[in-house]
Structure 1
Amino acid sequence: MNILLVGAGLSGAVIGRQLAEAGHDCRIIDSRPHIGGNCHTQRDPETGVMLHLYGPHIFHTDDEGVWAYVNRHADFVPFQNRVKTTSQGAVYSLPVNLHTINQFFGTTLRPDEARAFIESKADNSIADPETFEEQALRFVGPELYEAFFKGYTEKQWGCSPRELPASILKRLPVRFNYDDNYFFHRFQGMPRDGYTAMIEDILDHPRITVELETSYDPAMADDADHVFWSGPLDGFFGYSLGRLGYRTLDFERFTYQGDYQGCAVMNYGDRDVPWTRITEHKHFSPWESHEGSPCYREYSREAGPKDIPYYPIRLVEEKSLLTQYIDLARSQEKVTFVGRLGTYRYLDMDVTIREALDTAGVFLGAEKAGTAVPAFVNSPQ
């Protein structure tokens, strides 16, 4: 069969490779001048540092199959993301852990003591938190909320934490030990030569062709037996019902000679600091040595029509519009919507790869059974 995959990021690459290995001809197009989507990495011509051009990506997973898959296509080096935050004139470790608690409150609490102490700070009158703010006040209390979550969240999402669902904060753990590893998964690492090299290896198959700086034209589908769409869900329909909301990021680069901040990621929790964080990219490759150090201040704002979409907003208005687009997508034939943009969800890299592998499996199973491939293997809702 002739398969058209729109988008040369992780979703398109992994699905394309699986189908190519099964004997299908896969044409992958991307409007950007490079593969990899927002995972794209490249060497900085000024300093030689490996840059994560669209913000840092750290690979972490508990999925053994996905870990084995990426290690077939790249040499992964162990890497743990140890995030710091500047708040109220001091530097602390994130996620909030026993060191953070003791430093912030000027105490020397043991784990059980710290657990009881934080519980005493919590607002136990909030039985079922519905908003981000209620979730924070219920589980960490007002002081930690104000210092580490409120200002950062207002900058990241452009609205009050009272307007955000509690589910956003459930991804941020509080630890009652001294573990400052930002992630908790068994497998964590970085591809030694960057993500773009890994995706190049995935795409290296005689049945795969890649065309960059090529925008999708609906007429392309006429020559394809099936289309996998990893672009924006609303974009497939020409935004005919309106645009789904996203946050985007602006990056302000500066170069430092030496070590600027001593860590890869420094958050800024105070509301009066306009950026959300500074990333120092040579720390994402600690096995390398570079004197020059490219750093990026990161600013979050609402995405406009010409901006790169990063984080789906998914508040009430967007969810209502999303339902309409889902119904429209399910009325299509021979099109499957995949990935972060195609399903309007925030996805980590490991989940993106797992879903791509599963989607390819569903397609091959449907082909064998002579049944239709669904518009969504993974529901956006």
Structure 2
Amino acid sequence: MIHKYGPHIFNTDNKEVWDYIQQFCEMIPFINRVKTIYKGKVYSLPINLHTINQFFDKSFNPEEAKEFINSISDKTIDEPKNFEEQAMKFIGKDLYKAFFYGYTKKQWGCEPTELPATILKRLPVRFNYDDNYYVNPYQGIPKNGYTEIFENMLSASNIEVKLNTKFDSSWDLSEYEHTFYTGPIDSFFDFKYGRLSYRTVYFEKYVSDGDYQGNPVINYADPEISYTRVHEHKHFTPWESHDKTVYFKEYSKETLETDVPYYPKRLKSDMDIYEKYQNDVNNLNNITFLGRLATYRYMDMHHVIGEALDLIDKNY
């Protein structure tokens, strides 16, 4: 039940994906309610009516909060060119500096002005007291953990699994009817146009008695605190009871050759390199590039599953 590679709450608006994954597990409904700590105070994320009222020491109703946020947002920005401008246009300087600037700089290892504006679209602003981190109608966690999904999925008689068999570009893929590749696209081509940049994360694990923080995930927005968030795994399974607790402090850093890549940075220089690799992909036969690393996009679990199902429906 410990999410070794960081917290994962399955959520989707695609009923086909939701029904598909439940062939392999029992999903228990789960609502992720994330908190963030800034200057010693705890706030709810995404920014909602409670966050706004608490931060500004107000008691706005929804319409008053909308008018207030509209009054402090940066009207000089028409088309945001980067993450910072997007945030300033949406919520103004104070909320941006408190909840996004420090956390984003730690997460991505660069100034938010260097990041595309599209990243911020994953965090809406709400003018009610809804603190559900996600907006999708289907949300849950596998009752017996994610491992069970893959055990059941791979148990089919027509699937052969080879462990410790990392893809090698010297393989003759013509021996196979079709290849589905989900590794890094730059690695597939032996980095001939250069390496694409990613952020990776690493974790410090702690075990103790009792309850460390009372919530599954708490972000740390202050730039002076080196870790980005703490996740405590007993709170992902409220249907279980544990006297002890396991929690992780999560840190972000640039991806080195020996690291596991997590988040495509997609800076302009990266996208120029990626375009060259994609042109080479377009000239290949009988191979499909799928997933976050092979398509160099940020994708959640349900996006990857949805695209795989669509691919099979169209071709098989």
TM normalised by structure 1 equals 0.81
Give, in whole Å, the separation in 1 of the partners of 2:171 and 2:19. Answer: 38
Q: 1:178 aligns with which of 118, 123, 129?
A: 129
1:56 aligns with 7
Q: Within 5 A, what are the aligned runs for 1:18-29?
A: none
- Residue 67 (str. 1) matches residue 18 (str. 2): yes
Give, in whole Å, the separation in 1 of the partners of 2:157 and 2:97. Answer: 55
Q: 1:111 aligns with which of 62, 70, 75?
A: 62
Instruction: Tell me the amino acid that sits aligned with residue 272 of structure 1.
Output: E
Post-superposition Cα deviations, 1:179-203, rounded to whole Å, max 9, x if no partner, equal 0000011100000011111122122
2:91 aligns with 140
2:205 aligns with 253
- Residue 285 (str. 1) matches residue 237 (str. 2): yes
Q: 1:158 aligns with which of 86, 109, 112?
A: 109
1:233 aligns with 185
1:143 CA drift (Å): 0.8
Between Structure 1 and Structure 2, how many residues are aligned?
A: 315
Q: Within 5 A, what are the aligned runs for 1:84-103?
A: 84-103=35-54
Post-superposition Cα deviations, 1:314-360, rounded to whole Å, max 9, x if no partner, equal 01000000000001111222211111111111111111101111122
Give, in whole Å, the separation in 1 of the partners of 2:249 and 2:266. Answer: 25
Give, in whole Å, the separation in 2 of the partners of 1:132 and 1:355. Answer: 27
Look up the SS of the partner of 2:160 in the other structure.
strand
1:333 aligns with 285
Instruction: Tell me the amino acid that sits aligned with residue 104 of structure 1.
Output: F
1:362 CA drift (Å): 3.1
The percent identity for this pair of structures is: 51
1:220 CA drift (Å): 5.3
Give, in whole Å, the separation in 1 of the partners of 2:143 and 2:38. Answer: 33
Unaligned ranges ≥5, structure 1: 1-49, 365-381
Post-superposition Cα deviations, 1:71-128, rounded to whole Å, max 9, x if no partner, equal 1211000000000000011000000000001111111110000110111111111111
Look up the SS of the partner of 2:11 in the other structure.
strand
2:253 aligns with 301
1:222 CA drift (Å): 4.2
Look up the SS of the partner of 1:301 in the other structure.
strand
Look up the SS of the partner of 1:296 in the other structure.
strand
Q: 1:323 aligns with which of 265, 275, 291?
A: 275
Give, in whole Å, the separation in 2 of the partners of 1:167 and 1:310. Answer: 18
Q: Within 5 A, what are the aligned runs for 1:206-225?
A: 206-217=157-168, 218-219=170-171, 221-225=173-177
Unaligned ranges ≥5, structure 2: none
Output the aligned Cα RMSD.
Answer: 1.0
Post-superposition Cα deviations, 1:127-149, rounded to whole Å, max 9, x if no partner, equal 11111111111111111011100
Post-superposition Cα deviations, 1:289-336, rounded to whole Å, max 9, x if no partner, equal 111111111111110111000000001000000000001111222211
Q: 2:299 aligns with which of 347, 350, 353?
A: 347
Post-superposition Cα deviations, 1:226-270, rounded to whole Å, max 9, x if no partner, equal 111011111111112211110000101111211100100000000
Q: 2:100 aligns with which of 140, 149, 152?
A: 149
TM normalised by structure 2 equals 0.98
2:263 aligns with 311
Look up the SS of the partner of 2:22 in the other structure.
helix
Post-superposition Cα deviations, 1:192-218, rounded to whole Å, max 9, x if no partner, equal 011111122122211101111111233
